[in-house]
Amino acid sequence: MQKMDMLAQNGMDLHPGLLAGPIASKRKPKMQSNIYKLIIHGQRMLRPMLCRGPIDMDGEFTMLLGAVEKGGVLDADAEDAQNRRQEIIDDPQGKRRLNGRYR
């Protein structure tokens, strides 16, 4: 929660090493990505994938997909997160859930 609080307060101006991206897809390396990963250190290296917006590009971040990194390799692909982002753009009312903590 601390990293999410920092993201809510600072946006893209997070301390270097806390937010990485845009990250490339392993399956489609040439794909232009809007996907970032939040870097959370621990016994399991959590890397929630998120994007700016996509509805309010300057005022929100959207968590798209949970991921774990092991040996420098994510267990999820940026393409899947990009697809989820597109689902939200296509149906913002049906696919989004606002986090009550950050309204």
> Is the predicted pLDDT of residue 3 greater than 90, yes or no?
no
User: What are 52-97's pLDDT values in tens digits?
Assistant: 989 888 888 899 999 999 998 999 999 999 999 999 999 988 877 7
- How far is 6 from 55, CA to CA, in rounded Å? 21
Residues 6+ apart with CB under 8 A from 32: 22
Question: Which tens digit of pLDDT belongs to each residue from 4-63?
Answer: 888 878 777 877 788 888 999 999 988 888 999 999 888 889 999 999 989 888 888 899
Q: What is the pLDDT of residue 1?
A: 67
Q: Over 90: is that where the pLDDT of 101 sits?
A: no
Q: Give CA–CA dist 64/83, Å, rounded.
A: 9
pLDDT at position 11: 78
Q: Residue 70 corresponds to which tokens in the numbers above?
A: 């092991």
Domain boundaries, the chain: 2-96
Q: Which has the closest alpha carbon to 65: 57, 75, 73, 55?
A: 75
pTM (predicted TM-score): 0.82
